Homo-oligomer: A and B are copies of this chain.
């Protein structure tokens, strides 16, 4: 039996508290709820890097006037297979929520549709959106640029972002099949941790300013991170720049980085989600696409291979049953944010 941790907080209690924090900080209710949902859900799934740890950064963006909290996302009338929402400088999450049902409807109507999010602040994991779409029975591929910290394979200068990519596929009677990863070998924060600890980084993570391999975290941070998987991962990262940056007429990662002028701010750019309705794609085959998918996905477990989100779903079940285990320091910080709002940043 798993014992509840000393500070086990029920998921919905945490959600209410995180929502209260953002309301106190000046976000309209819809935005406060959208941001609180992705943060709470990440904490629930033990994705600590996208959980309550992110609250401080969001509050800083609001306090700096960088997050346009007064802006309501503007959903454009869908044209053809493209659903478009302008976040107008607000968080991507609210924009997704505003456009979500239009995307689902258009995808079911046409078989395939795209959601374009313009001019959004982006801090959350992409799995949240594709999982929501998979729960509506849709396959979804999501991508966005970020800050240019990654050199292309064979290069020496940052040009690409850590450009995440997420994919969701519906599974009957089970959690959806979901993956979500950065297309860099490692996260920038991992290199930073090595720098602080004075330990070398593994080979293959980064190059120095001349493009030579390095295991020195200091040199790596001044040089460039590398994409995963050599020239193939580099090609995928480049595709993400083109499809979710250039194609949308939104900033690519280098422009997003230039925009911050060295300040520690959230990236501001666009995002692209492609949604597909398997029932429509398979219709003429006479096969059930989800039953076909199960033939593949259930075979993974038979040979001991893990599906991408298994650990996350296992953590979720524990959290829903026993609550989310938080440290005393985390609990204290949440309470301080809830009481003081943005003023907590100056305390």
What class of interface size applies to chain A in its complex with B? 35 or more
Q: How far is the CA of A118 from the CA of B241 in the complex (A)?
A: 31
State which residues 63-99 of A face B: CB under 8 Å.
Answer: 76, 79-82, 84, 86
A169 and B242: CB pair below 8 A? yes
Q: How far is the CA of A296 from the CA of B278 in the complex (A)?
A: 34
Q: Does A299 contact B (CB under 8 A)?
A: yes
State which residues 219-239 of A face B: CB under 8 Å.
Answer: 228-236, 238-239
Q: Does A26 contact B (CB under 8 A)?
A: no
Q: Does A133 contact B (CB under 8 A)?
A: no
State which residues 242-301 of A face B: CB under 8 Å.
Answer: 242-243, 245-250, 252, 254, 274, 276, 278, 280-290, 292-293, 295-296, 299-300
Q: How far is the CA of A290 from the CA of B232 in the complex (A)?
A: 22
Q: How far is the CA of A76 from the CA of B111 in the complex (A)?
A: 15
Q: How far is the CA of A118 from the CA of B89 in the complex (A)?
A: 43
A156 and B82: CB pair below 8 A? no
Q: How far is the CA of A118 from the CA of B249 in the complex (A)?
A: 34
A296 and B246: CB pair below 8 A? yes
Q: How far is the CA of A284 from the CA of B286 in the complex (A)?
A: 40
A101 CB → nearest B CB, Å: 18
Q: How far is the CA of A241 from the CA of B153 in the complex (A)?
A: 26
Q: How far is the CA of A288 from the CA of B109 in the complex (A)?
A: 29
Instruction: Spell out A's residues near B (CB within 8 Å).
Output: 76, 79-82, 84, 86, 109-114, 116, 118, 139, 141, 151-157, 159, 167, 169, 177, 179, 181, 183, 211, 228-236, 238-239, 241-243, 245-250, 252, 254, 274, 276, 278, 280-290, 292-293, 295-296, 299-300, 303-306, 308
